[in-house]
């Protein structure tokens, strides 16, 4: 009897230890300048290729600090940050979703802009030439959902042009739109110019004239609850630096609008 | 009270397990906006997702019963070569990540897929982005639950009844209809309930294969996922419906799962 009580107590102690160990993550890690740490960057899906390259450069230049990315629709990232997900930096594809978390982040800085393009299969088998063609009834068009910045911009572009499109699907992020086209399931989609470039050799873009297009502004900010505020700021500085801007430009992004 | 032979210290991990499984549900109930839930539940978006979920999950059950019961009969009663392989293959979707199932469905039944390109060319039928596509995605992940439950029922049943019916001159169809199926009715019911609950909750294969369009392919789990990103209250309201449906299925099956209670 006594023996079993002792064993019970030992088990309780062991469980308590394990729980305490798990809790360790939440405690401040005593300054970010110590060992090479880890930086968590929440970035819009359209930034996947450009930010992955910037992350590698950051790691190389900062003594091996690992950069972990969470690429998703900006609306999903904003919600995750609202629910206290452990983010250090947030880069959104629009100012609206940055605005949703404005109390949780530092001062946002615009760092890039982007235009929309029509994405079609390689060779453009359906012969899509203009925004108006997207209304063809035999064309399967995929858009990003209205909640996603790319979907919101797509609706703006279509409304401006007076084109009514019945999409067959509203995808959760802009990369999923490109995927549906590259798989051949959809004939066309509205995505960023940069997504066409990143979409590989199965897709190509149809330009949208400047007077019909919208300019998407990408803001970046550090997250106030960050455990590594110095490194978060350093990453943001890299994105805004000449080096960072060159990387973004190479991936097809435009400079941020000058205010 | 009889003396238990279970070691006392097992109570600790057991209590942790209860907490781990129950606390998220309490969290869901705790954050429910009870004041506005009526408005949330009757909003067009929620009603549309609810209607579509019922259509798709019942469609998936129909497909599963129509194809799955014959499969269970063959697996349980006919000793054909490769039976174990067939059984493993047809239960694979139970353990396969649903998103992988969705990708596989695209490669099979998509417009460029193995069978899909033929369907498109011969009949002009394309399945992705259609309600039929959503039904197929749900049936793909849910049918195995029906098959294994019905097969287990067939194996557990007393086959002498079938033999007796045959001796008395009943044909194979008559025996199946009048003896076998009524005897496995409880298993069939449990299989249908499990299959339906799984189809109702399907997310990964549906969004991958059928896409997401309100009223066409946006079932309740998809609506919960997308609502979560913009409208937490609507997401919680939809989650509550799914929670209560799951509870109802569990209660309906309690005699089967908790025979002593």
- Domain ranges for chain A, please list them: 35-113+217-250, 116-212
**CATH code at B40-257:** 1.10.3720.10
ipTM score: 0.74
Q: Name the nearest CA neighbour of A172 among B217, B233, B225.
A: B225
- Contacts with B111 from chain A: Cβ below 8 Å: 184-185
B111 shares contact with chain A (CB less than 8 Å): yes
Q: How far is A171 from chain B (nearest CA, A)?
A: 6
Among positive and negative, which fits the CA dihedral A171, A176, A177, A181? negative
Predicted confidence at residue B2, as pLDDT, reads: 61
Predicted pLDDT at A8? 52
Check A185 against B128: CB less than 8 A apart.
yes
Question: What is the domain class of A116-212 according to CATH?
Answer: alpha beta
What is the per-residue pLDDT for A3?
55
The dihedral through the CA atoms of B122, B128, B130, B136 has a sign that is positive
Place of tokens 């079993």: A4
Rounded CA Rg of chain B: 22
Cα(A79)–Cα(A82) distance, integer angstroms: 5
- Asked whether the domain spanning A116-212 has the same topology as the one spanning A35-113+217-250, the reply is yes
Q: In sequence order, which residues have a C-beta less than 8 Å from that of residue A184 and are 6 or more positions away?
A: A121, B110, B111, B112
* Interface contact B229-A180, CB threshold 8 A: no
Tens of pLDDT along A228-252?
999 999 999 999 999 999 999 999 9
Pairwise CA distance, residues A228 & A239, whole Å = 17
**B247: helix, coil or strand?**
helix
Alpha helices in A118-218 (DSSP H): 149-161, 174-182, 193-198
Smallest Cβ–Cβ distance between B212 and the set A75, A172, A186 belongs to A172
B233 touches chain A (CB under 8 A): no
Average pLDDT (A72-77) is 92
Locus of tokens 């008395």: B168
Ranges in chain B, pLDDT < 50 = 260-261
* 3-state SS string for A29-50: CCCCCCCCCEEEEEEEHHHHHH
Bridge partners of A171, per DSSP, are A144
Nearest CA in chain A to B131: A168
Q: Residue A241: which residues within 8 A CB-CB, separation 6 or more?
A: none
- Direct distance between the N- and C-terminal alpha carbons of chain A, in angstroms, rounded to an integer: 77
Question: How much is the pLDDT for B85?
Answer: 95
Task: State the burial class of residue B75 (Cβ atoms within 10 Å of its Cβ: 0-12, 13-18, 19+).
Answer: buried
| Residues 6 or more apart whose Cβ sits within 8 Å of residue A63 | A36
pLDDT over 60 at A210, yes or no: yes
Burial of residue A164 (CB within 10 Å: 0-12, 13-18, 19+) is: exposed
Q: What is the pTM of this model?
A: 0.79
Answer yes or no: is pLDDT of A10 > 80.
no
Quote the minimal CA–CA distance from B111 to chain A in Å: 6
What pLDDT is stored for residue A34 in this prediction? 41
Whether residue A74 contacts residue A51, with contact meaning beta carbons closer than 8 Å, is answered with no
How far is the C-alpha of A228 from the C-alpha of A231, rounded, in Å? 6
Instruction: Please report residues of B whose CB lies closer than 8 A to that of A11.
Output: 9, 12-13
Q: pLDDT-derived band of residue A54, with 50, 70 and 90 as boundaries?
A: very high
Mutate to test the interface with A, among B107, B137, B211 (most CBs of A within 10 A): B211
Residues from A contacting B (CB-CB < 8 Å) are: 4-5, 7-8, 11-12, 15, 73, 75-76, 78-79, 140, 142, 145, 147, 167-172, 180, 183-186
SS (H, E, C) B71-126: HHHHHHHCCCCCHHHHHHHHHHHHHCCHHHHHHHHHHHHCCCCCCHHHHHHHHCCC
| Beta-bridge mates of residue A44 | A72
Contacts of B129 in chain A (CB under 8 A): 140, 142, 168-169, 185-186
Q: What's the confidence (pLDDT) of residue B191?
A: 94
pLDDT band, residue A104 (cuts 50/70/90): very high
Confidence of residue A197 (pLDDT cuts 50, 70, 90): confident
Phi then psi for A246, rounded to 5 degrees? -65, -40
Question: How many residues in chain A?
Answer: 259
Q: At residue A16, does pLDDT exceed 90?
A: no
Minimal CA–CA distance to B181: which of B150, B149, B160, B156? B150
Average pLDDT rounded to a whole number, residues A42-58: 94
Average pLDDT over residues A210-226: 94
Supply the CATH classification number for the domain A35-113+217-250: 3.40.190.10
Per-residue confidence (pLDDT) for residue A208, from 0 to 100? 95
Minimal CA separation from B241 to chain A, in Å: 22
The reply to whether B110 touches chain A by the CB within 8 Å rule is yes
How far is the C-alpha of B240 from the C-alpha of B234, rounded, in Å?
10
Sorted by where each begins, the domain ranges of chain B are: 40-257
Structure-token pair, residue B6: 């279970």
Distances (CA, A) of B195 to A11, B62, B68, B189: 40, 10, 11, 10
Residue A166: pLDDT above 50?
yes
- Mean pLDDT value across residues A136-160: 93
User: What's the angle, vertex CA B222, arms to CA B220 and CA B227, rounded to 5?
Assistant: 90
């Amino acid at each position: 009897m006594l023996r079993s009580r002792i064993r019970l107590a030992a088990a309780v102690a062991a469980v308590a230890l394990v729980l305490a160990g798990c809790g360790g993550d939440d405690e401040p890690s005593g300054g970010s300048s110590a060992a090479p740490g880890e930086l968590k960057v929440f970035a819009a899906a359209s930034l996947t290729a450009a930010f992955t390259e910037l992350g590698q450069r950051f790691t190389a230049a900062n003594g091996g600090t690992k950069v972990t990315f969470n690429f998703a629709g900006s609306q999903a990232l904003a919600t995750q940050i609202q629910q206290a997900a452990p983010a250090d930096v947030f880069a959104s594809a629009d100012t609206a979703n940055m605005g949703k978390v404005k109390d949780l982040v530092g001062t946002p800085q615009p760092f890039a802009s982007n235009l929309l393009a029509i994405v079609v299969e390689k060779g453009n088998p359906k012969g899509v030439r203009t925004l108006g063609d997207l209304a063809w009834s035999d064309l399967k068009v995929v858009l990003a959902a209205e909640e996603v910045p790319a979907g919101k911009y797509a609706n703006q572009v279509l409304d401006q042009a007076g084109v009514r499109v019945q999409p067959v699907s509203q995808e959760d992020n802009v990369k999923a739109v490109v995927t549906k086209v590259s798989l051949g399931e959809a004939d066309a989609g509205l995505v960023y110019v940069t997504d066409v470039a990143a979409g590989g050799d199965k897709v190509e873009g149809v330009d949208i004239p400047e007077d019909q297009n919208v300019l998407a502004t990408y803001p970046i900010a550090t997250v106030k609850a960050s455990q590594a505020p110095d490194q978060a700021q350093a990453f943001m500085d890299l994105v805004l630096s000449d080096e960072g801007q060159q990387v973004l430009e190479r991936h097809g992004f435009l400079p941020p609008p000058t205010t | 009270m009889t003396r238990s032979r279970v070691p006392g210290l097992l109570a600790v991990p057991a209590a942790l397990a209860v907490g781990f499984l129950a606390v998220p549900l309490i969290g869901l109930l705790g954050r429910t906006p009870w004041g506005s839930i009526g408005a949330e539940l009757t909003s067009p978006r929620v009603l549309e997702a609810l209607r579509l979920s019922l259509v798709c999950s019942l469609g998936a059950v129909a497909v599963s019963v129509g194809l799955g019961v014959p499969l269970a009969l063959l697996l349980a009663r006919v000793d054909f070569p490769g039976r174990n392989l067939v059984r493993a293959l047809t239960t694979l979707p139970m353990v396969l990540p649903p998103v992988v199932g969705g990708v596989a469905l695209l490669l099979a039944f998509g417009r460029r897929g193995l069978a899909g390109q033929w369907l498109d060319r011969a009949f002009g039928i394309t399945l992705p982005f259609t309600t039929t596509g959503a039904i197929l995605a749900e049936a793909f992940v849910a049918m195995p639950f029906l098959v294994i439950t019905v097969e287990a029922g067939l194996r557990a049943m007393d086959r002498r009844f079938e033999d007796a019916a045959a001796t008395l001159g009943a044909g194979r169809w008559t025996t199946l209809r009048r003896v076998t199926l009524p005897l496995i009715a409880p298993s069939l019911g449990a299989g249908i309930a499990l299959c339906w609950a799984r189809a109702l909750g399907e997310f990964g294969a549906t969004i991958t294969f059928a896409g997401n369009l309100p009223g066409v392919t946006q079932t309740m789990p998809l609506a919960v996922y997308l609502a979560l990103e913009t409208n937490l209250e609507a997401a919680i309201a939809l989650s509550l419906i799914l929670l209560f449906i799951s509870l109802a299925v569990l209660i309906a099956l309690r005699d089967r799962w908790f025979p002593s209670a």
